A = this chain, B = another copy of it.
């Protein structure tokens, strides 16, 4: 299949969540962040699956952190957005902006 020129909504949300969380961007907080925005449960499994895909497409990278000194403190896998990922975010914004901007019915509202 041809390469997409934009991000799907779910992947876009994940990229934005990773950017926003900065140093604390790992699986669990990322899915919490998504839940906050979507107003319903987001299973961690789906988040990890999407992160895998994003990593294989070079839009995020990951590294294992040290275990934290708390019970159940398994090492976390931290994610960060790559340059290519950031480019994609901007490109997606550009496309959506253009689409919305051209709609007479919706003019005046700014995203």
Contact = CB atoms under 8 A, between A and B. Distances in A.
B95 A96 contact: no
A13 B99 contact: yes
A70 interface: no
Interface in A41-83: none
A103 B19 contact: yes
**Chain A residues touching B, range:** 20 to 34
Interface string A82-111: 000000010011011111101111100111
Copy number in the complex reads 2
B100 A93 contact: yes
B5 A8 contact: no
Contacts of A92: 9
Given A2-B40, A9-B92, A89-B106, 11 more contacts: A5-B38, A5-B39, A6-B38, A9-B12, A16-B99, A20-B103, A37-B95, A93-B109, A93-B111, A110-B110, A111-B111
